[in-house]
Structure 1
Amino acid sequence: MRGAHRQRTLLAEDWYDVGLAGLLTATTLVGWAATYRGAGLWFFGLGAVLVGLAVAVTVVSLGGGAEHVTLALVLVYVVAAGPVGGGVDALWGLDALGAGTTGTLDGWRALVGTHPPLDAAGATLLPPAGLCLLAAGLSAALAMRSDVPGRPLLPQLVQLLVVLAAARAETVAVVAHGIGFVVLALVWLRVRTRQSESAESGSAGRGTTPGLAAAPKPGALPPTRSRGRGPLFPAGAGRAAVGPAMVAGAVVVALLLAGGTPLTERRVLRGSLPAYDPAPVRTPLDDFRDYTRRRPASEGNVFDARLLRVRGVEPGTRVRIAVLEAYDGERWSAAEQTDPARIDDRYLRLASTVDNPAAGTPAEAVVTALGGWSVPWVPTAGAVQGFTFLGAEREALTEQLRFDPAAGSGLVTTPELAPGTDYAARVRLPEVELPAPDDEPFPDLAPGLAEAGAFLDPAVEAWSAGAASPMEAVLQVARRLKRTGYYTDGAARGEEDYAAGHSQLRLGREFVLAATTAGNDEQYAAAMALMANRLGVPARVVVGAVLPGRGIVRGRDVEAWVELRVADGSWRTLPTAAFMGRRPPPSEEEERPAGSPPPQRIFPEQTPDDTSPPRQQPERPEPEPEDSADSELADSAEEGSGVLGTVLRWLLVVVLLVALVGLVPALKWWRRRRRRLAARPSDRVSGGWEELVDAARDLGTAVPGGLTRPAQAQWLEPGAGAAVGTMAERADVLVFAPDPPDDAEAERFWSLVEAERTRLTAARSPLRRLRALLNPASLLPRRDR
């Protein structure tokens, strides 16, 4: 029988089993195709299949059983895992053992903790390669050593379940893969069953005497299979039901893993294990006043500091620092699993490629964290489709990065992203689209956000009255909030009572529902997003910056805006300017006892179509009729002062432009006067020659620095008169003669200089002479000075 542990020669049916075991293992390997990127999966996976089969054939040929094959396979894996996981340096000894153990743990941790597709290199390949090695070897060994037809399928079924649980979630591929596996398994099962039936028939047809059996040939299999253990599946009608039962079982398992019908996703180990929780991490919205002007500057304030350098994208691109999608009554925070339409909305590790389909212009944003950056958030732009840290700390930072492709937000697990860190992100930059009133909102809201804004219902109901659609209601509320609100950072004198924060108390009684709605981006964006969700439009808060022209983001550039989700699943930007008021709060607010709540707004207020300025304190009595004239005079005076201020500003701009245009000619006139009125006549002569050379430079003649006057004269000769060489020699005589020149000689030399300057400029067009007058070339340093 096959189970005998002795050295023997393999027969044709054994090679059928070996080939089908390898083919079934390779079929299971296809299940990893969407999880890995690169040819390394196929090289190492198929290589592991061949090695597993070779080990099984060798051990069984030497008389070993399945337990010996298992031990040999584990030994091969331990030896090979070191170089695969730790490189060629981990080839021998304890280094190989340690690298293999560490690589195995890192490989499985990366597999379930990284957004696919993973890079098919290094330790990340150990899970599929190890499974292929063990499954192929054990299946082949069981097939060669066992007479039970279905027993070799057990390692393959275990491998299939692991692939379904750990590979990337693609439902259609899962069902197709499962059915293909079952079909091939049935073919193998049928082959083994026919072999068993043929052996039984052959034994019965030889007519042996009862009780006697022919002695087997040395190294050959006995003619019949062992009947003592019996087949794993019954014969006859029961065996005919095996195929449909396996297909039905595969479909049921696939449906359970897929998560229901219609099949849009399936449950995988990556989505079941806990991911990095970003909720406790402080966000730029929590510390928004660090980015606002504080006088005197407080510790941690970065209003004037350089935070980021962004290259590769156009100015005006929105750079997103943090995307906040959850509100707990105290603060907006980053969160995972808030997008019902996606299964990758979790903060996991990133490979070099991110599967994040999006429309837009492709670009590569290269970001550098500058000295003012002291937070763990990793700014990006658009939809990230590839990410790579640059520099010596690349591997450590890649290990620390956690990124949510659905939100487009990432952070490192260390306290901060160190200044000087560089990284490149391949992105798709969508066209900036503002929400339109007729846009249909996305049907599913993030869990809990609609209920979280219930405390703002008085304002939501009053300000959205009359809107024809949810999106129109949101835009209407935004306009009303902007018209009602004032801007303050709480830093100006008299505005200290306007506190930071975005708790229910700060956003409700002290902001939207207060008689004076005053705050900065933090309060406006936090409240606006809550009210949008309350109206049935999914909304989230984004903290970032609109990239300035030179690509340097400073603290003053940081702002908070709101993104609204429309029916097609895309997010539309509701800019800060659409809902935030910019007027300073009124200074004549009534005094109230310390600790007492601010006066509350009375709702409903004005109708949405009323564009008149809101009345901030409705409880205040109306002014008497005789005060109306004074009020009109004050309004007229205020309007007149506004017109006068505009005129003065334009006048100042004109004066500055004239001053800038006349600066260069003024500096040249002052330089010429200083040279001509120098204290020593010899200095006047030297200055005269320099004046002639500078005039030529302004006209476009390139006179090299560091030359003698006669050498400079040769450069001037093509555009100057023939006397310029004589002037150079005369200047040398006057400057280096034993007797210094007198005032008259210096003045005569300056007369020659003026004549030559006139000759130089006369040959040029009026436009060229004007350009020479404004050209600052001669004011720049020269080597010969």
Structure 2
Amino acid sequence: MSATLTPDAPAPASGRRSAAPAVVDPVFTRGALTDLGVVVALSIIAVLGFETAYGDENFLLVGLGGVAAGALGAAAAAALRLAALPAVLLGVLVYFLLGTPITMPELAILGVLPSASSLAGLAIGAVFGWNDVLTLATPVQAPYYIAALPYFAAWAVVLIAGLLVLRWLPRRRSVLRATVVVLMPTLLYVAGILLGTDEPYYAAIRGITFAVICLVWVGWRRARAEGVLDSPHPAYRRRRLGGAAAVVAGGVVIGIIAGAVLAPAPAERFVLREEIEPPFDPVEYPSPLAGFRQYTGTLAEEELFRVQGLQPGQRLRLAAMDSYDGQLWNVAGRAVAEEGSGTFQLVGTDLPEPPLAETGSASTLTISIGAYDDVWMPELGYTSELDLLDEGTAARADDLRYNPTTGSAILSSGLERGARYRVTGAEQSIPEDAALAEVPTAQVALPPVDDVPDVLTSRAVELAGQETSAIAQLRTIEQRLSSEGFYSNGLPTDAAPSRAGHGADRMVELFTRTPLIGDEEQFAAAFALMARHLGYPARVVMGFAPEVPEGADEVAVLGSDVTAWVEVPFEGVGWIPFFPTPDETDIPQDQVPLPQSEPQPQVRQPPRLETDEEDLLTAVELEESDPDDEEQGFVIPGWLIGIGGALLALLLLYSIPLGIAAALRARRRAARRRAEPDRAVAGAWQELTDRFAEHGVPVPDGGTRRTEGEAAAAALAARGAEESAAGGVATLAREVDGDVFGGRPIEPERVDDRWSRVDDGVAALAATLTPWQRQLARFRVTRRGARG
């Protein structure tokens, strides 16, 4: 029995040599194309169900792209007559090649070629996109790979259903097989409902259209299977077709009435997102740093919480922020950075270790909440254990989440007065600067910072000076800010005004007014932006630094104890803190700036029309050319890289299926060749018939080897092969029959002779084919079952 998807050709009459060559059944018949068109139409209707989750027309383009990719993969596999495994692998290759321009063109090379990031996104989206689309708020627009989900779903359904209708359904066109094919688009239709929202998307129209197409197609398949369409009696055909039309019309009417009467209200619709609790997203909460002045103002003398076990010099950590949008430093949600400050996980008592940190000895603190009211939990450094002590908070242990990268803990339901918990943690060990002189900053993927003022970036380069190492540049900026600035948190008792906030306008005000005046909020925000401009990953950390008297067992933390600093990671060391905020509060009276109600916006000045050439020759704009730059090697043009990438993609598209097919054929031949002598001789003939089928000339199965040999010889003769080659194939069939049933020992030399003549027969057949036919034969793999 043949192991390929190729339908068997009818066997010629026994004992009679056919003068006509063996004909391969066509793949793309009118019926097969109709079946494929039905699958495509049903899949398009089904993929429309994703609209409620994605909410714009882009999802439809992505879904249609998935339908096209699946249909193309199925058609290519059918045209090449690939077996099941090579066909699926070819479909996967099409998925990755077409997925980049369809789902994430912004990551494509030259707009169409896949990149490493886009390939990773296509893989991640197919595996994890189901979870994201259920747990993220609708309309789902991030993370970047989320568009791969409808593309993958449509591609998978159409690929499998397409292979079924092109290779499996033609073998036996039964109603049962047609129903199995219909199940694939039905699964896609149900997935669109379950992954969507309470609000349906044209549910009645889509459902009725989907059902009508299914009924008509299955009915047509049944009529063809029963020969109704071929009946010579017109009245019989009219009755059967009329009855089928009545059933379809009745189904439409019943569907409309039932849909209007029995359709559940949106609130009662079953969708998976209503049954799944979404992960905590800190982006939904205000930035902790946005409320900095509230602590130093209205809560300055309020007792936020009490801490037992805190040692002098230790700081309490609250939140780390690594995303800046021109208005606020904030935590980055999962849509922006998978491992960033906004990625929290459910935890128990024991917390995961930080991925990058060298900590000192651990300390245990007990914290009792007072006026503090937020979701962020004050803690010490990187926490290893966290126990909720009071009964009310312990009952909400499922709300506890932790980010080991930033050392931040959250109780999503919020801390309340009277809550108590115990934390065991250790702070980052801080080595001497000399030990970090040769240590680069760690390669940490942080979200980008946006709308950074030009004045800040230019001052970053200026303050860094001529230093070359990372630690030296950062320490220089830290010292310059702390020594040249003055501290003021905007209280009426301050010597100079200091406006709250750390948006782009406040950063401009900080560096355009003399002297620099602000508090931890402004100086930490500015220092982090400067570090990011110089290429160093930096994040802003907010916490508390209360004064702890010597020997004190417990300390009260007030709102005025709030503080902020900056952390930069160093390779193999951890996140090193920097404290750029000045201590000096006595601002010289002659340098006190006049208060401004609103800072002036940045206005880009138009270019001067009349300028002397000498005025343009400034020290900044004239730079001596570096001889090393002139001696740099040849730079490959971008268009050449694009052409090379396209050629490489085409080469992979050709070579991967070719290599798979060649490996399968080599494995088949080796298994037959290493068998016992009698089985090896029989395997030689099986190899010949399989190779003939792979070259598009299948030898009819079901007869004896002699009849098969006559059919193979007739096919060779009809194609113009030499008479000796055709006669040799017929003779080989008789000799193999004699070897198998002769009962005599078979010498190894005879086995070698049979296999050598098989190769001669295949070579004679290949010589009669066109180059295109020979190329197609290299992609086919056929395996006929063993026989006696």
TM-score normalised by length of structure 1 = 0.37
What is the TM-score normalised by the length of structure 2? 0.37
Flag the structure with larger Rg: 1
